[in-house]
Amino acid sequence: MPGTPAVPAGKRPTLADVAARAGVSTALVSIVMRDAKGASAATRERVLQAAREIGYRPDARARLLRSQRSRLLGVQFGLQHPFHTDLVEGLYAAAEPAGYQIALSAVAAGRGEQRAVESLLADRCEALILLGPQAPAARLAELAGQLPVVSVARRLRPSVPGLEVVRTADDEGARQAVDHLVALGHRDIVHIDGGRAPGAADRRRGYRTAMNRHGLAEHIRILPAGLTEEDGADAARALSADRPHPTAVMAFNDRCATGVLDVFLRAGIAVPDDISVVGFDDSHLARLAHIDLTTVGQDIPRLAHLAVSRAVARLEGDKSPAGEDVITPRLVVRSTTAPPSL
Amino acid sequence: MPGTPAVPAGKRPTLADVAARAGVSTALVSIVMRDAKGASAATRERVLQAAREIGYRPDARARLLRSQRSRLLGVQFGLQHPFHTDLVEGLYAAAEPAGYQIALSAVAAGRGEQRAVESLLADRCEALILLGPQAPAARLAELAGQLPVVSVARRLRPSVPGLEVVRTADDEGARQAVDHLVALGHRDIVHIDGGRAPGAADRRRGYRTAMNRHGLAEHIRILPAGLTEEDGADAARALSADRPHPTAVMAFNDRCATGVLDVFLRAGIAVPDDISVVGFDDSHLARLAHIDLTTVGQDIPRLAHLAVSRAVARLEGDKSPAGEDVITPRLVVRSTTAPPSL
DNA sequence: GTTCTGATCTAGAACGTTCTAGTAACTAGA
DNA sequence: TCTAGTTACTAGAACGTTCTAGATCAGAAC
């Protein structure tokens, strides 16, 4: 009864609707929408006008179905890891200028890596970027056989054929932490270990090697823990019972280190006066003014950028064998380390 | 030249490939894949076998394109908010039994709410679940005109037509916090405020009302801050210069409260002996053994469940006007509150 | 006046599914 | 033997795009 209804009620407008309204073919509308060449300026404007009027919005699924390329990078990440969420932020920033979109799939309680990856594959991602994957090497190899896969922050030894790796030199990071503490005068340096977490083995090894090189072999002490605040807190509780305390602690990561810090503060052990603490990652946690943690900085934007680059290179036909980017970490000295008290 | 290649190299297998291999029609394969009825047990097994052999995986996009329903719930969340990531975990858990999938879209630096929502719409989500949206009411109204939209943890006054709301009774939560502190004997209770963050206005109001009801009007003191650890730390620094200190602090949320805690510990102000601290949210941050924060618990699984329910009800034809679920929070007493020292 | 060239536009076939409408082959009741 | 009702299956048209292969028409070159 009224004039022209803006939208045919209930159905979202399609290319055909726009085409009808502008009096052109759907193919032409498609051209205009993609900003492809093959339409005159005048028609282009007319089509855009029509699209605006009926509130047309391209259907990403139909678009991806038809075009060979999906230009979609699937990212698997741990919802509760600040280091991962920082990385995701970097991935968004890196993917856009390369002309790719990011599809997120979270690993959470009740949703394992298997499920997360399944959903990315079903969504037709062209490549996968896995943050700190825990899956067995065989599974990663199988995936890498199907599409380009980049593992971020997890080293694989022996290397998995076809799998791209972007990681920080964890052993070197641990070395820097130990060197820093030794330079301050510490000898009794404990490592709170990440267990089976990605990177943990290398950090442990780096710690051992550095201690040995400083002639501190008999001071090597490794406390098994994990990657969460609670793991760090547990280890710190065990430590604070010791007399005398070690004078310094190198924690597996920042989450772990904040757990350590808090227990020490509560136990009346002053940081850094009584004991120094070093973290790992330089996630935004460490940068917070009230934590202000000395930590081994992973260059998060760089890691993100390289991960995207590797994926994209693969997709754009790079046939060279899969490789590895190893980023040198850089110690960020803040206020949780100082010379040991006499 | 060899026998049957497992996969026709480079292309992912489709229904037609499975059909050819099993010697049936694509329609039948579709039936088997969807676990629909209309296939005998024998054929079913034969088809599944063929699918397994060539590594067939359904194409989610083609599937969604064809079926009227996408059964996809779009979720917008803040990458760096533990409260949001906790909620997302709950949403995954709630969506699955209802037969819906979750599509995530993060708000991050350089990726605003507008962008996040655009991508969810292009992906054909049937409904949107927005966690703590900051968008203006007019924008939310516009969206709600297009599809079912649920706002979680943000109240809208006046209510936006068509917009579903699921939230905690923030004023009531603030009241509980004040009541608890007053019952312990506190009178000098400061509120560290969330500014323009969703929920902040109600918490502020609840604090004021409760203080008035206890006859503590002249003790009302509100420190402007925000929703991050740093905001809390800044406010705490300001406070710790005061002599005498207030005896209790009610922080806008848990992130803010951890900032407060840490500054106090560093300044040698004992919690809870010298001063009590209450947070808000009961995100996993608060539950960590080494923080062990008394906090106003938002029932996160319940909020998630209700958000999904509201979206689903809308999608399954519920025509009643949009409504609001207001969940009563429950104070979780842990170790950061105690009677004031004499 | 032809033929070419380039720009603008269109018809119609993909893409990989699901859905509708049917066919074929049984069983069962009369 | 005939009809009716199942059950198992299939052909072919959707879904909303993009892509291929032209069609049409101007102007330029000969």
For residue A317, pLDDT over 90 is answered with no
Q: What is the pLDDT of residues A99-120, one digit of tens each?
A: 999 999 999 999 999 999 999 9
Residues A189 and A293 in one domain: yes
Do A195 and A281 sit in the same domain of this protein?
Answer: yes
**Mean pLDDT computed over A130-148:** 95
Q: Per the domain annotation, does A7 fall within a domain?
A: no
Let me know whether B159 and B175 are in one domain: no
Tokens of A223: 């406390």
Please tell me the total count of domains within chain B. 3
Residues B98, B210 within the same domain: no
Q: Is A5 part of a structural domain of the chain?
A: no
Higher pLDDT, B22 or B7: B22
CA of B47 to C1' of D9 (A): 13
Is the peptide bond preceding residue A244 cis, with omega within 30 degrees of 0? yes
B25 & B128 share domain: no
Tell whether B148 and B268 lie within a shared domain.
no
Asked if B80 and B227 count as a contact pair (C-beta separation under 8 A), the reply is no
**Structure confidence by residue, pLDDT tens digits, A239-257:** 988 888 899 999 999 999 9
Residue A338 lies in a domain: no
Q: How many residues does chain A have?
A: 342
Higher pLDDT, A12 or A168: A168
Q: What is the mean pLDDT of residues B152-170?
A: 94
Helix (H, G, I), strand (E, B) or coil at A336: coil
Nucleotide in closest CA–C1' contact with A13: D16
- Does some domain include residue A189? yes
Give the nearest partner residue to A106 out of B88, B284, B288, using CB atoms: B88
Calculate mean pLDDT across residues B201-213.
Answer: 98
Q: Which residues make up the interface with nucleic strand D when CB must lie under 7 A?
A: A 11-12, 14-16, 26-27, 30, 33-34, 36, 56-59, 62-63, 65-68; B 23-28, 31, 37-40, 42-43, 62, 65-66
User: What type of residue is A28?
Assistant: L
Residue B334 inside a domain? The answer is no
Residue A10's pLDDT is what?
56
pLDDT at B242: 84
* CATH code: domain of residue A27: 1.10.260.40
Tokens found for residue A33: 């929408």
Cite the beta strand spans of chain A per DSSP E: 72-78, 101-107, 127-131, 149-152, 163-168, 189-193, 221-224, 248-251, 276-281, 294-297, 324-327, 330-332
- How large is the average pLDDT for residues A210-217? 98
Q: Do A108 and B88 touch (CB under 8 A)?
A: yes
Under DSSP, the state recorded for B226 is -
Q: Encoding tokens for residue A178?
A: 């130990």
- pLDDT for B200: 96
Q: Across the strands, what pairs with B280?
A: B296
Q: Where are the alpha helices (DSSP H) in chain B?
A: 15-22, 26-34, 41-54, 60-66, 82-98, 113-122, 137-146, 170-184, 200-213, 229-240, 254-266, 284-287, 300-315
Residues B304 and B282 in one domain: no
What pLDDT is recorded for position B10?
A: 56
Q: Which nucleotide is nearest to B31 (CA to C1')?
A: C18
Q: pLDDT class for A168, splitting at 50, 70, 90?
A: very high
Best of A85, A290, A293, A305 to mutate (most B CBs within 10 Å, chain B): A290
Residue B245: pLDDT band by 50, 70, 90 thresholds? Answer: confident
**pLDDT at B9 > cutoff 60:** no
Is 70 exceeded by the pLDDT of residue B37? yes
Q: Is the pLDDT of residue A300 over 90?
A: yes
Q: How far is the CA of B178 from the CAs of A169, B83, B198, B206, B277, in angstroms?
A: 50, 22, 20, 9, 11
In a domain, B338, yes or no: no
Q: Per the CB < 8 Å rule, is B263 touching A59?
A: no
Cα distances from B58 to residues B12, B162, B339, in angstroms, run 10, 35, 61
Domain extent at residue A127: 72-168+300-327
Q: Both tokens of residue B237?
A: 């620094």
Q: What pLDDT sits at residue A205?
A: 98
Cβ proximity of A200 and A171 under 8 Å: no
Nearest CA to CA, how far is A54 from chain B (Å)?
Answer: 12
Do B113 and B45 fall into the same domain? no
Same domain assignment for residues A266 and A174: yes
CATH number at residue A266: 3.40.50.2300
Please indicate, yes or no, if residue B132 is contained in any of the structural domains: yes
Residue B146, in any domain of the structure: yes
**In the prediction, which pLDDT does B243 show?**
82
Q: What are the helix (H) ranges across A147-252?
A: 170-184, 200-213, 229-240
Average pLDDT, rounded, for chain A: 92
Q: What is the pLDDT of residues B268-302, one digit of tens each?
A: 899 999 999 999 999 888 887 778 999 999 999 99
B174 and B292 part of one domain: yes
On whether both B273 and B309 belong to a single domain, the answer is no
What percentage of residues in chain B have a pLDDT greater than 70? Answer: 97
Same domain, A36 and A183: no
Q: Could you tell me the distance in Å between the CA of residue B104 and the C1' of nucleotide D28?
A: 56
